[in-house]
Chains A and B, each alone.
Chain A
Amino acid sequence: MNELEKTRREMARVLCAPGRHPDRSFSVSRRTFLQRSLATGALGGAAAYGWLPLINVLDIRVAAAAEAFRFAWISDSHLYPREVNERFVEKTVLAVEDVKAMDPPADFLIYGGDLAQLGAPDELRLGSEILKELDIRQVLIPGEHDWYLDLGKLWMELFGEPNSTFDHKGVRFVALDTISRCPDYWSATNMSPEERMGHMATLDGTVAGAWAGIGNDQLKWLQDLLADWPKDQPVVLFSHNPLYEYYPPWNFWVRDWRPLHEILAPFQNVTNLHGHTHQPLYNEVGSMRSIGMLATAWPWPYAPEGVPALTQPMVRVDPGDHFDGVGWDEITFTADARVENRYVMWPRKPEEVLATASDDSGTGDNRNQKLRRRIADRMWPY
């Protein structure tokens, strides 16, 4: 059994004990699935996914009646300077225009990290200018691409602290920083800031290692701010990385998931929205639901292993269409206390975002694929 499998099994043992699950007052609608089944006249290709929750119509009933509101999520724009990559700029602007056009308007925007590609001042300032077009409240968290050129200096000048919290209409929102606590891999080899950033900006890089984490100081902060929050009231966590172990080699996890879930365990209604993975994901870990959001820049492929069994993968996207597989998310708390997450993938209707057959899915596409990790970045030049 390899180390990855050991970690995965440990997490399942610790967090997914029999009978433990998110509060059943959370209900998941199967509306879209039923509509699709009726439309096609048979379960057919949908049968493979028929039992799974459909995350583009995820309905969560909160314990207390909620006041209706909506918010939007944009993340992973990976902006280069405009002259290097106009497409990334174009899609970020489009997402902002979409959010601006929401009627009724979104109460706030969450920007989930990786605004810049290489953390450069012109990239971060470009992103800041684009986001200024929105006149609604904005809550930002950093991604690793924003941070490791100057260790977050400019990001914090532009956007403030990397973590924050606020209450909104009966829900406690917490924006977590999962990127800034990477162990120092640069000092011993005298890396330049650009070299440090380069390793961090390479998803399949092996030099930066398991950089995603919350850190003891932030765990204490989280524990304190949840201390007086009623256990049956909703908590929504925003993070750049997923808060469970999906695929550590690409930092599709946080390394200190165990103490985090110990803090969250008493709460019945916990939802995590995360970026970094650039793909629709759904998982339940202990009492927490987790939803992976779209990027605006490009979609990552699903990892070769570890995709949560509860995930209905997105469709195979068209690599010739740079608007396919990307977009933003609209999240609605309805008046009857439900939550709906809608993937806005520009070239596709909402019901076309998630695959209904293996041949058309982003995971089914990887049949017979077995990978080995790269070695060149360890061999050279260090």
Chain B
Amino acid sequence: MRSKRLLSLLAATTGAAVLTVVGLGLGPGGQQALAHKEPHIPEELKAFEDVFTEQVILGDLLFHGDTEAQQELGVSLSDTGMACAMCHPDGSDVHPHEFPKYQQQMQEFATLRDMINWCIEKPNQGTKIDSDSPAMKALEAYIYWSNSGSMLDPGRH
């Protein structure tokens, strides 16, 4: 059951899920789709939300060290048994609302994705992931979702 569900989530990460909502106004990958030309219908809004929620769930699994999700996406976020959530339960202390900012440990102006990769590589001793990869987008989705009540405060150390 779990693998079937995971495949569904992974389909969303690769764009296959777009096919299921193409009739609701989304175009297939690589093709310019029209947007906002007609009033949104509830089914369409629900489809948009489902795409996001599935990314949040996948990101949650990666954030909590789920082995199967990492294997399916071909990433290794930790080599120490540490998961992101072990220092950041419920996405706390990630402060996505403060990025981009100067990050002291990197000594450079950094985005949230830069910081995610720093944590993967340093504390977790895992392997950095492509900044635009499905795994990165899913992690970003979960982190923003878990902090969705926070107030934007970019640049604060």
Contacts and interface: CB of A to CB of B under 8 A. Distances in A.
Interface of A: 80, 84-85, 87, 117, 202-204, 249-250, 298-301, 303-304, 318-320, 322, 359, 365-377, 379-381
Query: What bracket does the count of chain B residues touching chain A fall in?
Result: 35 or more
Given A203-B89, A322-B123, A371-B92, A85 B153 contact: no
Contacts of B1: 381
A319 B92 contact: no
B90 A371 contact: yes
Contacts of A299: 87
A303 B90 CA distance: 10
Interface in B88-103: 88-93, 95, 97-98
20 contacts: A80-B80, A80-B81, A84-B81, A85-B80, A85-B81, A298-B86, A300-B89, A365-B95, A368-B97, A368-B98, A368-B150, A370-B151, A371-B149, A371-B150, A372-B90, A372-B147, A376-B57, A376-B60, A380-B57, A381-B1
A320 B146 contact: no
Given A319-B123, A320-B105, A368-B153, A204 B89 contact: yes
B91 to A, nearest CB: 6
A85 B82 contact: yes
Nearest to A202: B64
Nearest to A80: B81
Given A80-B80, A368-B97, 7 more contacts: A203-B89, A301-B88, A303-B92, A304-B90, A369-B95, A371-B149, A375-B57
A370 B61 CA distance: 21
B148 interface: yes
B147 A370 contact: yes
Nearest to B66: A376
B122 A320 contact: yes
- The B interface is mostly helix, strand or loop, or mixed, namely loop
A320 B81 CA distance: 16
Interface of B: 1-2, 5, 56-57, 60-61, 64, 80-82, 85-93, 95, 97-98, 105, 119, 122-123, 145-153, 156-157
Contact of B97 (A84, A85, A369): A369
A367 B147 contact: no
Contacts of B148: 370, 372
A380 B2 contact: yes
Nearest to A299: B87
Contacts of A303: 92
B81 A369 contact: no
B81 A379 contact: no
Contacts of A249: 90
A299 B88 CA distance: 10
B5 A366 contact: no
A366 B93 contact: yes
Contact of A367 (B5, B92, B149, B153): B153
Nearest to A84: B81
A146 to B, nearest CB: 16
B122 to A, nearest CB: 5
Contact of A365 (B64, B85, B93): B93
Contacts of A320: 105, 122-123
Nearest to B98: A368
Contact of A372 (B86, B98, B149): B149
A28 to B, nearest CB: 29
Nearest to B151: A368
A318 B118 CA distance: 13
Contact of A204 (B2, B57, B85, B153): B85
Contact of B105 (A250, A319, A322): A319
Nearest to B5: A380
B157 A359 contact: yes
A87 B151 contact: no
Contacts of A202: 64, 85
Contacts of A370: 147-151
A367 B122 contact: no
A379 B6 CA distance: 12
Residue of B80, B88, B98, B119 contacting most chain A CB atoms (<10 Å)? B80
A303 B89 CA distance: 9
A367 B80 contact: no
A301 B93 CA distance: 6
Contacts of A375: 56-57, 60
Contacts of B122: 319-320
Contacts of A367: 153, 156
B123 A372 contact: no
Nearest to A297: B86
B146 A374 contact: yes
